[in-house]
Amino acid sequence: MSRSSKSSLLSSPLSLSPSSPSRPSSSSSSSSSSTIYPTLNLFLIIIVSITALFLFQSGFLLKRVQLREKSTCSDVSLSPSSCWIPRSFDRVILIVIDALRYDFVQSEREKNLRGEWKEWKGQMPFTRDLVKRGAFLSKALADPPTTTLQRLKALGTGGLPTFIDASDNFNSDAAVEEDNILSQLTASGRNATLLGDETWLSLYPNGFHRSFAKESFDIHDLHTVDNYILAHLSSEISRPDWSFLIAHFLGVDHAGHKYGPAHIEMGAKLRQMDRVIKDVVSSLSPSDLLIVMGDHGMTTTGDHGGDSDDEIGAAFMAYSPSRSFSPSPPPSSSSSSPSSPPLQQIDLVPSLSLLLDLPIPFSSLGSPIENLFEDEKRRRMAVRLTAMQVDRFTSTYQRVTGGGLGFTLPEEVPSSLSDQRDLLYKLQSSLRSQWTKFSIPLMRIALLVMADAIGALFSPPTIPSLILRQSYLFLLLSLHLSPSPESSPALSLLLISTPLSLIYSLFHIIYRITSTVTLSLPSLLPPFLLLLSFLLPFSNSFIISEPSILLFFISSLLLYSFYLSFSTSSSRTLSLSSLSHLPLLLFSLLLLRLHPLFHRCREEERDCLQYPSPLPFSSLPFDTRINRYLISLLSSTLFYFFFRPSRPSPSSLLSLSSSLLLPSLLLTQLFFSSSLLPDSLSLQSSFHIRSVAQLVYLLSTVSLILSLFSPFSDPLFLPSILRSISIPLYLILGDGLSFPFISLLFLLYRTPALLPNLSSTVVYLSLLLPYAFYYLGHSPTLSSIPWHAAFTGLSGSTAPRWLAASLVFCHLFSPSLLLLPLFPSLLSSPSLSPFIAISMLRVLTSSYAVMHHRRHLMVWKIFAPHWIFSSLSFLVLLLTLSLSILLKRKVHPTQVASKTV
pLDDT tens, residue by residue, 587-643: 999 999 999 999 998 878 878 888 888 887 666 777 888 889 999 999 999 999 998
pLDDT at 451 over 90: yes
Q: What is the pLDDT of residue 484?
A: 80
Contact 361, 71 (CB under 8 A): yes
- The amino acid that residue 678 corresponds to is P
Q: Which among 229, 849, 79 is positioned nearest to 539, based on CA atoms?
A: 849
Task: Give residues with Cβ within 8 angstroms of 631, minimum separation 6.
Answer: 735, 738, 739
- The amino acid that residue 406 corresponds to is G
The Cα–Cα gap between 533 and 846 comes to 11
Selected residue with higher pLDDT from 31 and 444: 444
Q: What is the pLDDT of residue 132?
A: 87
- The H or E element spanning position 37 is helix 36-60
Residue 820 exposure: Cα atoms within 13 Å on the Cβ side: 22
The Cα–Cα gap between 577 and 654 comes to 34
Contact 62, 162 (CB under 8 A): yes
Q: What is the pLDDT of residue 645?
A: 75
pLDDT at 703 over 80: yes
The Cα–Cα gap between 533 and 202 comes to 43
Task: Give residues with Cβ within 8 angstroms of 644, minimum separation 6.
Answer: 658, 661
DSSP sequence for 662-722: HHHHHHHHHHHHGGGS-HHHHHHTHHHHHHHHHHHHHHHHHHHHHHHTS-TTSTTHHHHHH
Kindly tell me the burial class for residue 426, based on how many C-beta atoms sit within 10 Å of its own C-beta (0-12, 13-18, 19 or more).
middle
pLDDT tens, residue by residue, 563-584: 887 666 555 555 556 677 889 9
What is residue 788's DSSP assignment?
A: G
Return the percentage of the chain with pLDDT > 70, whole number. 83
Contact 35, 898 (CB under 8 A): yes
> β-strand 192-197 against 288-293: which pairing, if any?
unpaired
pLDDT at 901 over 70: no
pLDDT at 884 over 70: yes
- The H or E element spanning position 497 is helix 489-516
- The amino acid that residue 612 corresponds to is P
DSSP sequence for 389-423: HHHHHHHHHHHHH----SSPPPSS--SSHHHHHHH
Across the beta sheet with 136-141, the strand order is 136-141, 313-319, 288-293, 91-97, 244-249, 192-197, 210-214
Q: What is the pLDDT of residue 751?
A: 92
DSSP sequence for 875-901: HHHHHHHHHHHHHHHHHSTTTHHHH--
pLDDT tens, residue by residue, 351-401: 999 999 999 999 898 899 988 988 888 888 888 888 888 888 888 877 776
Residue 486 exposure: Cα atoms within 13 Å on the Cβ side: 9
The Cα–Cα gap between 80 and 83 comes to 8
My answer on whether omega of the bond before 145 falls inside 30° of 0, hence cis, is: yes
For the chain, what is the radius of gyration of the CA atoms? 30
**Mean of pLDDT over the chain:** 82
Q: Which among 371, 474, 582, 642 is positioned nearest to 48, based on CA atoms?
A: 474
The Cα–Cα gap between 22 and 594 comes to 43
Q: What is the mean pLDDT of residues 699-720?
A: 86
pLDDT tens, residue by residue, 119-161: 788 889 999 889 888 899 999 988 877 777 778 888 899 887 6
Contact 505, 456 (CB under 8 A): yes
Other CB atoms within 10 Å distance of the CB of residue 713? 15
The Cα–Cα gap between 113 and 417 comes to 49
Question: Which band of pLDDT confidence, cut at 50, 70 and 90, is reported for residue 849?
Answer: very high
Contact 475, 445 (CB under 8 A): no
Residue 741 exposure: Cα atoms within 13 Å on the Cβ side: 33
What is residue 34's DSSP assignment?
A: T
Total H helices, total E strands in the chain? 38, 7
Q: What is the pLDDT of residue 31?
A: 44
Question: Which band of pLDDT confidence, cut at 50, 70 and 90, is reported for residue 299?
Answer: confident
